[in-house]
Amino acid sequence: MSLPQYITINGTSYASANLNDVAKAQAANIQVVDAELARLQQQIAIAQTARNAYVAALIESVKGKGQADAAEKPKKPRAPRKPAASKAKAPVAAAA
């Protein structure tokens, strides 16, 4: 990662090119840590989404809307489909 052109510390901007090697290393370390924090926040969001799905499944299970209901109630059989209507038109007799 390269440093931005300017770095702001406590409200004061510094040109990256003018920083000494130690300051540049610390700024680079901050960038690495910021990237890791962003990655971890994304992992937390993924875990929270999974947790929400588990909670929803638990609530459905406790309310009796889960798999047990589906196994106990047989589905109503479907009526057979009606044959498609023929698209051929019957000849029309002309009245004389």
Amino acid 76: pLDDT: 77
Amino acid 42: pLDDT: 98
More confident: 95 or 27: 27
Report pTM: 0.58
Report d(CA 50, CA 19) in Å as an integer. Answer: 44
Whether 40 shows a pLDDT value over 90: the answer reads: yes
Q: What is the mean pLDDT of the chain?
A: 85
Nearest Cα residue to 28 out of 5, 1, 6, 7:
1
